[in-house]
A and B are shown apart, each in its own frame.
Chain A
Amino acid sequence: MTSGVDLGRPQTQSVGSDEDVVRVRQLVRTAAVAVRLSLVDQTKVVTAASELARNTLVYGGGGTVEVTAIDNGRRPGIRIVFADSGPGIADLDLALTDGYTTGGGLGLGLSGARRLVDEFDIQTAPGQGTRITITKWSR
């Protein structure tokens, strides 16, 4: 769904613990600086990645995060894929609603992360795991 050409090999981080979520933030921060996102956009994409990596850990039972620098011919950007083989999401509309949570959190992870990025794609089904792709373009 995402447009743009990969600029380099994706960097992958497995997510199996709290510490891995911290590593995902650091990986995304480094990539966001490399494609010259503004400070505010760096902050937004790292925050979104933090929310989604935590979801991968807590709801997906762990998984992987893949970070790629991309270019659509006009501007560079960063694409991040969060994949898990957990239970999947049965009611996606509900899961994307502000304040809805099954895990005792604030219910802002998915919906908030979607607001912080330029493109947001989610593929999930019960028993099929969840795969979320986000893109943030440099302005």
Chain B
Amino acid sequence: MERVPILKIGDILLVSIQVDMSDQTAVALQEDLAERIVATGCHGVIIDITALDIVDSFVGRMLSTIASISRVLDAETVVVGMRPAVAITLVELGLSLNGIRTALNVERGMELIAIERADDDHDEPDDDPVPEPTASP
């Protein structure tokens, strides 16, 4: 079985998926990433899917699971490089990738993680902002 390499760049783990993954490879990546997050103490994970010409429900679920696992381990996940045709197909398939942050490319992804970390240092997590009270007439 092929394994997807995980690179450490500063405080970020970078995964660039370059192969058409079998389901087993996708599951192994989930486990490898969780171990590397803990081993390195990294606070950000970037998954580059530029080379993927499809994302089906299995890979979509893998991306959601990685994002959830990372969050529990105090790391942010950003998926970058989704091709337009892949985005169109995902939506039609019915997959909304809930809970996954996306950015256009690796650079933007790194910026997003840096901003997230800076915000976290200043205030409490604000994933669920309280809706502004509407002014009554």
Contacts and interface: CB of A to CB of B under 8 A. Distances in A.
Interface of A: 18-19, 21-22, 25-26, 29, 39-40, 42-44, 46-47, 50-51, 54, 98, 105-106, 108-109, 111-113, 115-116
A21 B92 CA distance: 21
Nearest to A104: B61
Contacts of B56: 47, 50-51, 54
B94 A43 contact: no
A18 B58 CA distance: 12
B57 A43 contact: no
Interface of B: 20-25, 53-58, 60-61, 83-86, 88-89, 92-95
B92 A44 contact: yes
A54 B58 contact: yes
A115 to B, nearest CB: 5
A112 B57 contact: yes
B78 to A, nearest CB: 22
A123 to B, nearest CB: 23
Nearest to B84: A40
Tell me whether chain B's interface is mostly helix, strand or loop, or mixed: helix
Contacts of B53: 29, 43, 46
A109 B23 CA distance: 14
B54 A50 contact: yes
Nearest to B90: A47
A105 B57 contact: yes
A72 B131 CA distance: 55
A98 B61 contact: no
Given A22-B22, A47-B56, A106-B57, A116 B85 contact: no
Contacts of A106: 57, 60-61, 95
A47 B24 contact: no
20 contacts: A18-B22, A18-B23, A19-B22, A21-B22, A29-B53, A43-B89, A47-B93, A50-B58, A51-B93, A54-B56, A54-B58, A98-B94, A106-B57, A106-B61, A108-B94, A111-B94, A112-B92, A112-B95, A113-B93, A116-B89
Contact of B54 (A47, A98, A109, A111): A47
A109 B24 CA distance: 18
A25 to B, nearest CB: 6
B85 A39 contact: yes
Contacts of B25: 18
